[in-house]
Structure 1
Amino acid sequence: MNDQLQVPDVITAGEAMALLIARQPGALSRVSEFERATAGAELNVAVGLRRLGFNVGYISSLGADSLGRNLAEFMEAEGIDRRQLRIDARYPTGFMLKSSTDDGSDPEVEYFRRGSAASHMSLADMPGGAFGAARLWHITGILPALSHSCRELAFAMADAARAAGRIVTFDPNLRPRLWPSQDAMIDTINDLASRADVVMPGIAEGRLLTGREEPAAIAGFYLERGARKVVIKLGAQGAYYASEAGSGTVSGFRVPRVVDTVGAGDGFAVGVISALLEGLSLQDAALRGNAVGARVVQFRGDCEGLPNRAQLEQALAGERG
């Protein structure tokens, strides 16, 4: 089949960023050496699904700079469909700094993304043709936080996908610093979540977004508003899942040593989405999400722990809590 006619299994849209990771533990203000990697929640999901054998299309915009070229080369090496990746010389590629920790705590992160090329995405970036015929469209709460035009794109994608009978998965991925206020963030995220088929919040995110405490109540909030399935990340305790077919909790996997917590939620999304694409139950999808998330936290960088098929099987065979 001609590459231009290839229909991806999954498409997603977001901001790819250069990631500079501190080589030694400590405050970012005192770090003298960094190593370069890649970042971006949607890019992490795209990479993870591609490593599991799915065809994945990615929508974004990069600056015409060395950071952008490095990211484009990384996507090419990972086999991601870049038909709708734009290079916009008017604006820079975003990047972020991340500290290193040696005690399993969350690292310090600083973003440099204001006015980036990706923040200027708009309705002109709507997927079309064979690209837009993907079975599943993955959206996160980061895209609508980047700018007004990105917000329009996120809602248009969700509405178009659902109207066409595609599967829409949504990860809130809250970034409070990108929003003008907490209320604006909550209202927009919940509105977007109501247009998705599968919603995947973390437990802390769910409590903030819904005002409800227990996983069952949080899931009920989204099921009442149009979602068909909800999977809630409970950290080391595992995950809670709910749909019309039933609900329950699956335990997490034991991790010998936590190296880097950033990217674990994206790994969880990779596990859930890949399982659903393969027709597995929501319970099995939550279990796979736990397995991939547990593997990711054992590696530095956002993408390094995302598994291939053989590594996924090893992760699923790990000891559960």
Structure 2
Amino acid sequence: MTDLVILGESMVELSQQEPGLFRQSFAGDVHSVAVYFKRLASQADRVRLMTAVGHDSASEGLIKALEEERIDTSLVFRHPSRQLGLYSVTTDKNGERSFSYWRSESAAREVMLLFREGTQSACDGAYSPCGLAPRPDMFFFSGISLAVLAPETRPAFWELVSNLRDQGTRIIFDPNYRPKLWPTPDHTRAEYARAFTSADLALPGIEDLTALYGVKDFTAACDLLAQFNIEELVIKDGPNGVYYRGPEERFLEPVSPIERVVDTTAAGDSFNGSYLAFRSRGLRPREAIARAAKVAGVVIQHRGALVERGRFAALLEE
């Protein structure tokens, strides 16, 4: 059994269906990774979403939605006064997204504080955080996960990552760069350097690396990331394919173009979740990438981050 912990923020999503009409659901980058991992992993595999919610009806709805997807909610902490963040997304005729966010006071910003408070154990008369139990096989976080953490709680986050890695947990990082969430690019690069240094597997997209570092192709991306000694790289570049570099092989896997792109909201996230699921089921990197790219191709032909579960299963069989 594979046990994956994913840290980040799930939000209320308002997705435009037509002018003036929005559909409410729950989403966010790590939310989508968790859902697609669980849908495609072996039945025994577990995914725990580590986040924080409030006591409002939307928070209750989120927990119900996670449980319907069979996502473990034991690491979903309750904030006494904050609630879920919210965002709206509209798409143009080419499937390009436009977002508006209301998340500055979301409960998820305090997840590390709540985690430390909720995992205290007595030890020689004092109290110390006992960490994640049981220790997960994999721990996933993104650039968005980092950005939304309250700055004063990031030391606790990095301590957790360091402890997990020392204990054998595989650390997985997707840069998922959103400039509006960071004070300056230099600040982002400093945090990302720690993330890449900690990562056993990195899942960057060329678009994010271009925006933050100015690199524009697979070769430049590999050169940039070589300084961090990351064991496994999976670099995504939309229709240009996916480049893999691991301990035993390197290759570029082509991606079949999608004729009708409707919504690219969860393209990278659905790829990430499905790639991790296929690898946990024992697939080799090339086959896992090819199948994950197919999943992402299905997802971007539908509105919203999550394709309805029954419809999703049927489409993958076609």
Q: TM-score of the superposition, structure 1-length normalised?
A: 0.86
Preserved contact between residue 54 and residue 83 of structure 2 (Cα < 8 Å): yes
**Alignment match, 2:127:** none
Deviation sequence 1:102-121 (CA, Å, 0-9, x none)? x2231211010001111112
With over 3 angstroms needed to count, the CA separation of the structure-2 counterparts of 1:149 and 1:312, relative to structure 1, is: farther
The CA distance in 2 between the partners of 1:131 and 1:256, in whole Å, is 45
**Alignment match, 1:56:** 47
> Residue 122 of structure 1 aligns to a residue in which SS?
helix
Preserved contact between residue 77 and residue 111 of structure 2 (Cα < 8 Å): no
User: Which one of the candidate residues 229, 246, 251 is aligned to 2:249?
Assistant: 246
> Residue 249 of structure 1 aligns to a residue in which SS?
strand
| 1:18 and 2:12 aligned | yes
User: Which one of the candidate residues 81, 88, 100 is aligned to 1:110?
Assistant: 100
| 1:36 and 2:24 aligned | yes
Q: CA deviation at 1:246?
A: 2.4
> Residue 111 of structure 1 aligns to a residue in which SS?
strand
Deviation sequence 1:68-120 (CA, Å, 0-9, x none)? 1111110111111111111213112101011143x223121101000111111
Which amino acid counterpart does residue 179 of structure 2 have in structure 1? Answer: P
Structure 2 unpaired stretches of 5+: 120-129
With over 3 angstroms needed to count, the CA separation of the structure-2 counterparts of 1:280 and 1:176, relative to structure 1, is: same
> Residue 97 of structure 2 aligns to a residue in which SS?
coil
Deviation sequence 1:146-197 (CA, Å, 0-9, x none)? 1214533442332122111111111111111111111111221132122111
Preserved contact between residue 276 and residue 282 of structure 1 (Cα < 8 Å): yes
| 1:289 and 2:280 aligned | no
Preserved contact between residue 20 and residue 96 of structure 1 (Cα < 8 Å): yes
Which amino acid counterpart does residue 63 of structure 1 have in structure 2? Answer: G
Q: Which moved more, 1:138-147 or 1:247-256?
A: 247-256
With over 3 angstroms needed to count, the CA separation of the structure-2 counterparts of 1:307 and 1:157, relative to structure 1, is: farther
| 1:262 and 2:250 aligned | no
**Alignment match, 1:120:** 110
> Residue 133 of structure 1 aligns to a residue in which SS?
coil
| 1:137 and 2:144 aligned | no
Matches within 5 A, 1:218-237: 218-237=221-240
User: Which one of the candidate residues 75, 82, 93 is aligned to 1:84?
Assistant: 75
Q: CA deviation at 1:8?
A: 6.1
The CA distance in 2 between the partners of 1:24 and 1:199, in whole Å, is 36
Preserved contact between residue 106 and residue 260 of structure 1 (Cα < 8 Å): yes
**Alignment match, 2:305:** 302
Which amino acid counterpart does residue 70 of structure 1 have in structure 2? Answer: G
Q: CA deviation at 1:273?
A: 1.0
Report the RMSD for the aligned CA atoms in angstroms: 2.4
**Alignment match, 2:123:** none
Q: Which moved more, 1:213-222 or 1:243-252?
A: 213-222
With over 3 angstroms needed to count, the CA separation of the structure-2 counterparts of 1:285 and 1:210, relative to structure 1, is: farther
**Alignment match, 1:4:** none
Preserved contact between residue 253 and residue 290 of structure 2 (Cα < 8 Å): yes
How many pairs align?
A: 302
The CA distance in 2 between the partners of 1:306 and 1:158, in whole Å, is 32
The CA distance in 1 between the partners of 2:271 and 2:152, in whole Å, is 28
User: Which one of the candidate residues 202, 205, 213 is aligned to 1:202?
Assistant: 205
Q: CA deviation at 1:130?
A: 6.8
> Residue 69 of structure 1 aligns to a residue in which SS?
helix
Paired-residue identity, %: 27
Q: Which moved more, 1:281-290 or 1:128-137?
A: 128-137
User: Which one of the candidate residues 171, 175, 178 is aligned to 2:178?
Assistant: 175
With over 3 angstroms needed to count, the CA separation of the structure-2 counterparts of 1:220 and 1:15, relative to structure 1, is: same
Deviation sequence 1:42-71 (CA, Å, 0-9, x none)? 111111111123311111111211221111
Q: CA deviation at 1:299?
A: 1.2
The CA distance in 1 between the partners of 2:156 and 2:282, in whole Å, is 29
Which amino acid counterpart does residue 90 of structure 1 have in structure 2? Answer: S
Q: CA deviation at 1:222?
A: 2.2
The CA distance in 1 between the partners of 2:314 and 2:173, in whole Å, is 25
